[in-house]
Amino acid sequence: MKKKILFVVTSHDKKGSTGEDTGYYLGEVSHPWEVLHKAGYEIDFVSPKGGTPPVDGFDLKDPVNKEFWENKEYKNRIDHSMTPSQVNPKEYSAIFYAGGHGAMWDFADNKELADIASKIYENGGIVAGVCHGPAGLVNIKLNNGKYLVDGKKINAFTNEEESEVKLTDVVPFLLEDKLKERGAEFEKSGLWQNHVVADQRVITGQNPQSAKSVGEAILKELNNK
């Protein structure tokens, strides 16, 4: 089996009715990508609509963002992201949901993506996410009928962080609350602190500051397998 990881990015480009632009958060793709790419993993991209996903947090002063953005192969891959129907879950040893506020609108209810993640997990793979990326985890169900996050330690963008960016009343739901509803044992640190938790092949990080650490935790788990 090839060493392949599937990155999920949002197709949604507006923060609710605010008119503000959003998309996938560049650093939450580039930092895990750097860790996993350097370790010899091939990365594919999927988004709910396929094609070129909108990007947020576009900061090329971050050298890792710059490295990713100027890597012709991977820039081409993300700009031609697959649709869920083009993905063969058997090819991947992990799936990683990148954040960015857009994820709150098009990850949770995407049954095709949840099905892909469930198959990767049931096949012994890893399911991961950072910041708002774990919105993709809230409706993943396993063969036993339980939610993936039920009874597991999980971490994501917190209610306090959502309040801090003044989007509590804009997002369709509060991610921390929804994960708890699904039975997750939610862990968190203070605002913008690097916090990553790994539990039974599910790896989650709190915010953009946690992105690299999520990549490192995925790599560690892959090396343990």
Is-catalytic flag, 181? no
Residue among 162, 176, 195, 221 flagged as catalytic: 162
Residue among 37, 131, 161, 221 flagged as catalytic: 131
Residue among 101, 132, 176, 195 flagged as catalytic: 132
Helix 211-224 / helix 26-38 crossing angle, nearest 10 deg? 30
Residues with Cβ within 8 Å of residue 41, at least 6 apart in sequence: 3, 4, 5, 222
Query: What does the alpha-carbon distance between residue 54 and residue 169 come to, in Å, rounded to a whole number?
Result: 22
Residues with Cβ within 8 Å of residue 144, at least 6 apart in sequence: none
Query: What does the alpha-carbon distance between residue 182 and residue 199 come to, in Å, rounded to a whole number?
Result: 16
Helix H or strand E encompassing 129: strand 126-130
Residues shown for the chain: 225
Is-catalytic flag, 31? no
218 in Cβ contact with 94 (< 8 Å): yes
Is-catalytic flag, 160? no
By annotation, the residues acting in catalysis are 131-132, 162
